[in-house]
Amino acid sequence: MISNKILFAGCSYTAGNGWTDTTPEESTKIELKDSPYLWVNICHSTIDRFKNLELVNLGKGGASNTEIFENATRAMIQHGDNINTVFCQWTSMPRYNWHVGFELWDTSENLGWNNLNLRTHDQNLNRGDTWSRKHIQDLTDRLRAMHHLHWEIVKVVDYSNMILTLAKRLGINQVLFINGLCPWDAEYFSKLNDVKPEAYTEFTKKEILNIDTRDDADILQLYDLAHQHYLDRGGIQQSSWINLYDSFRNLAVDTNYDKSHPGVVSNRLYAEIIKQKLQSC
């Protein structure tokens, strides 16, 4: 059977959020997957090896990395050996998505690391009691305080290697990962040996180890443990990444209609980066 599909999974950066000329409030909620300005479609229409493949865009605005993983693997299993190439774009972390009720209308809500988006913040649909905005904000602030990014990074490493393993078993030609909004900094996954903690990356020092509150012995042990966790999940597999250390968010130079998501110039840049990566593979 000829592999005739190319699959893209990701969050709003892949789904095309904001590609509409409606009001900013409306545009953030609208996905325009067929926008000619979206990097997904630029890649599909301009890269020769992809032009004759059927495009499957699984991007979903607000999707968490867990949802992206589930969407990608579900589609890989469903389409199997019909898939030629998979692009999986990882997003910011953590993100929580859930449903506050079981109704005939949409009861989904989501919470990101830097944003609170609770449409039904003043009502619990399951029990009928009312929760104030202040109460919800307090709960979410506590949730953020209890959460550690290391475990979200472990998830991405783990998910990536499971996708690579599944692709190999299904005979999929190629899988490439994209850093959409991941938080780590340059060379984060390059483990340093026989150096003082001050030599670690800024993200490692501040977000992962919080070195100002620990002695050197604990810092060194935790640093080794963090990298061992990544190795235990198969390692980061840098050759399978388009832009491991240069996230699409950091590379963005303009915005689209919603003044939030990457614009025309940025999406062209993303497509060019992907073209260059493919040429070097």
53 and 170 belong to one structural domain = yes
27 and 74 belong to one structural domain = yes
User: What is the value of pTM for the model shown?
Assistant: 0.88
pLDDT band at 123 (very low <50, low <70, confident <90, very high): very low
Coil vs helix vs strand at 255: strand
- The answer to the question of residue 119 being in a domain is no
Flag the least confident range among 66-80, 105-119, 226-240. 105-119
222 and 240 belong to one structural domain = no
198 and 246 belong to one structural domain = no
Using only C-alpha atoms, the chain has a radius of gyration, in whole angstroms, of: 20
17 and 66 belong to one structural domain = yes
pLDDT band at 231 (very low <50, low <70, confident <90, very high): very high
- The answer to the question of residue 137 being in a domain is no
What per-residue confidence (pLDDT) applies to 280? 85
68-96 residue pLDDT tens: 999 999 999 999 889 999 999 999 987 77
List phi, psi (to 5°) of 9: -125, 145
211 and 159 belong to one structural domain = no
CB atoms within 10 A of CB 47: 17
7 has which bridge partners? 56, 86
pLDDT band at 120 (very low <50, low <70, confident <90, very high): very low
67 and 30 belong to one structural domain = yes
174 and 194 belong to one structural domain = no
198 and 214 belong to one structural domain = yes
Give the span between the Cα atoms of 84 and 50, in whole angstroms: 9
Give the span between the Cα atoms of 279 and 281, in whole angstroms: 6
- The answer to the question of residue 131 being in a domain is no
- The answer to the question of residue 110 being in a domain is no
Flag the least confident range among 52-66, 88-102, 214-228, 256-270. 88-102
212 and 240 belong to one structural domain = no
Q: Tell me which residue has tokens 């699409």.
A: 248
CB–CB of 205/226 below 8 Å? Answer: no
* Region 147-167 average pLDDT: 96
- The answer to the question of residue 87 being in a domain is yes
Half-sphere exposure of 71 (CA within 13 A, CB side): 24
Ramachandran region of residue 237, left (φ > 0), alpha (ψ -120 to 50) or beta? Answer: left
58 and 165 belong to one structural domain = yes
CB atoms within 10 A of CB 4: 12
* Domain that residue 224 falls in: 190-234
CA distances from 135 to 82, 96, 131, 227 (A): 49, 18, 6, 37
- The answer to the question of residue 153 being in a domain is yes
Measured N-to-C along each axis, helices 39-46 and 264-280 cross at an angle, to the nearest 10 degrees, of: 50
List phi, psi (to 5°) of 177: -105, 145
Question: How many distinct structural domains can be found in the chain?
Answer: 2
Please say which residue of 217, 234, 251 terminates a domain: 234
- Residue 170 identity: L
Q: Tell me which residue has tokens 């100002």.
A: 212
Give the span between the Cα atoms of 42 and 268, in whole angstroms: 7
- The answer to the question of residue 128 being in a domain is no
- The answer to the question of residue 132 being in a domain is no
* CATH number, position 60: 3.40.50.1110
155 and 225 belong to one structural domain = no
